[in-house]
Amino acid sequence: MNRWLSTNNAIRIGWFLIGVGLLPLGCLLLWAYTHNSQPISEPIFLRRGQFVSRYFKPELNGTYQVSLSWLNKFPSRETKVDLDWEIVDSQGQVIDQGTYDSSLDGSNIVELGEYHPQQRVRQRIIVNVHREVNGPDGEARLEVGVPEVGLELAEGYFPLAIEWAGIVGGLAVVIFLVLLILRLVHSRAPGSASRHLHCQDSVRTQRGPRS
């Protein structure tokens, strides 16, 4: 009885360790799902004209960054970007605005400006391109967000949470493996087979001879 009680306690401890190991990772995933650090990341062709993004709602405090990026592409150093942008709410009221008129100098990420958003207010960004960008492809991604938060999650908190889950979960796996080995050793022990035969003889004796 005590053996089964201690085995059950060991199983409970193993599952408890698994829960403790996964808890920080689960909390981070929930926070990242409910607090989007980059609400806007849309492709934009930098041709003369106006680009209007979809509506979004900032959910974080702090300064949001407006930027252009060319993923896995590097425009030539002479590539020039000339545009202005503004953040407007659903009523068309301007929340913030800025301009950019400069060459890229070989960079594939360009910070167009920063602004402090109104939290949980529907807003969108309008970009007016004054000069067509020829390369590469004239296509970039327009991004609005708090890149520091994304970097902290991707390079700091998530690796630590995964490492913690591996260490604590590993202890739980060790416990389960030990229990499995003990069970296999016990089932193959000579005494267990004789006890099994003794139990069968006792059952036959109680039932009596067959007619």
SS3 annotation, the chain: CHHHHHHHHHHHHHHHHHHHHHHHHHHHHHHHHHCCCCCEEEEEECCCEEEECCCECCCCCCCEEEEEECCCCCCCCCCEEEEEEEEEECCCCEEEEEEEEEECCCCCEEEEEEECCCCCCCEEEEEEECCCCCCCCCEEEEEEECHHHHHHHHHHHHHHHHHHHHHHHHHHHHHHHHHHHHHHHHHHCHHHHHHHHHHHHHHHHHHCCCC
Residue 209 reports pLDDT greater than 70: no
Q: What percent of the chain has pLDDT over 70?
A: 84
Q: And the tokens for 18?
A: 């698994």
Q: What percent of the chain has pLDDT over 90?
A: 30
- Each residue of 146-204: pLDDT tens digit? 887 777 777 788 888 899 999 998 888 888 888 888 888 877 766 554 555 454 555 45
Give the model's confidence band at 36: pLDDT under 50 very low, under 70 low, under 90 confident, else very high.
confident
d(CA 49, CA 132): 9
pLDDT at 60: 85
Starting from the edge strand earliest in sequence, which strands make up the sheet with 80-89, in order? Answer: 49-52, 123-129, 80-89, 94-103
d(CA 66, CA 112): 5
pLDDT at 6: 73
